[in-house]
């Protein structure tokens, strides 16, 4: 079963694509702007995204860039003939393909199948590894255990989720605001200091010298990342 996200601000187009992709192997999700699409990508194991370019609140290009920060899931842009420059930009910054409106149902089905086949053959569609590693830190997400150099350390659920987020994206910098909104699933509204406190507590548990961290690094003015020292 493949999870496919269809995102377009025109409901008629979303409904038409759902008809074209009416297949027992597809589980279809729908969104009507880029923000809604991102929320679904964060919560669901999506295997392919069909993304319109011109949308309110967050357009398809911006949404695709943010999807790319989290996943290498195939993205097929839904474009109008007049959007050639956006189409080229999209392909340049990470889109895998595009389909021009009005759609040919056979073409839609063929392009979706082609991208899914490539994605799965490359192994990118496999479930994320249950064990994450960053230097001497090992996080087993099945047993919900964290080991440091083979010794178990005990984190609170919130500390665990923050560490997992950073370890899932090694080297990627997350701002305190983004960490808060992802982990607490709420707008930050000045609660970024809460993140700093939790990061400090995590460091006290997984760093030999929390004042000179080997793994949980701060990028001044930007945020935090997990990165093993070479």
Question: 15: domain CATH number?
Answer: 3.40.50.2300
Whether the CB-CB separation of 219 and 229 falls below 8 Å is answered with: no
The answer to the question of residue 205 being in a domain is yes
Distances (CA, A) of 216 to 69, 146, 167: 19, 14, 9
- Residue 13, pLDDT score: 93
Please indicate, yes or no, if residue 202 is contained in any of the structural domains: yes
Shared domain for 92 and 9, answered yes or no, is: yes
Digit-coded pLDDT (tens) for 13-63? 999 999 999 887 899 999 999 999 998 988 888 899 999 988 988 888 889
pLDDT at 29: 95
Give the pLDDT confidence of 89-98 residue by residue, as tens digits. Answer: 777 777 888 8
Any idea what the CATH number is for the domain that residue 149 is in?
1.10.10.10
Residue 126 lies in a domain: no
Domain identity same for 19 and 115: yes
Q: Are residues 64 and 148 in the same domain?
A: no
pLDDT in tens, 76-119: 998 876 666 766 777 777 788 888 888 889 889 988 988 888 77
Of the residues 70, 97, 121, which one is the last residue of a structural domain?
Answer: 121
Of 140, 75, 77, nearest in space to 85 by CA? 77
> Can you give the residue range of the structural domain that contains 188?
131-226
Facing residues of 52 across strands? 78
Burial class (CB in 10 A: 0-12, 13-18, 19+), 162: buried
The CA–CA distances, whole Å, from 62 to 50, 122, 153 equal 14, 26, 39
Domain count, the chain: 2
- Count CB atoms within 10 A of the CB of residue 11: 10
Q: What is the pLDDT of residue 17?
A: 94
How many Å from the N-terminal Cα to the C-terminal Cα in the chain?
40
């Amino acid at each position: 079963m493949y999870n496919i996200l269809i995102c377009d601000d025109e409901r008629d187009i979303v409904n038409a694509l759902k008809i074209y992709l009416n297949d027992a192997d597809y589980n279809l999700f729908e969104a009507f702007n880029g923000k809604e699409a991102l929320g679904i990508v964060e919560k669901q194991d999506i295997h392919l995204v069909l993304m319109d370019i011109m949308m309110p609140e967050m357009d398809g290009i911006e949404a695709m860039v943010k999807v790319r920060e989290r996943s290498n899931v195939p993205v097929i842009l839904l474009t109008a003939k007049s959007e050639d420059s956006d189409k080229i930009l999209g392909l340049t910054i990470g889109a895998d393909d595009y389909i021009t409106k009005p759609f040919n149902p056979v073409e839609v089905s063929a392009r979706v199948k082609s991208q899914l086949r490539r994605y799965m053959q490359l192994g990118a569609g496999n479930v994320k590894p249950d064990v994450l590693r960053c230097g001497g830190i090992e996080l087993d997400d099945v047993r919900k255990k964290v080991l440091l150099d083979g010794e178990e350390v005990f984190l609170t659920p919130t500390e665990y989720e923050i560490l997992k987020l950073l370890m899932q994206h090694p080297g990627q910098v997350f701002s305190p605001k983004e960490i808060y909104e992802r982990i607490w699933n709420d707008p930050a509204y000045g609660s970024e200091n809460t993140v700093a406190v939790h990061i400090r507590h995590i460091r006290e548990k997984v760093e030999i010298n929390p004042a000179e961290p080997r793994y949980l690094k701060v990028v001044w003015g930007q945020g935090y990342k997990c990165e093993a020292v070479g």
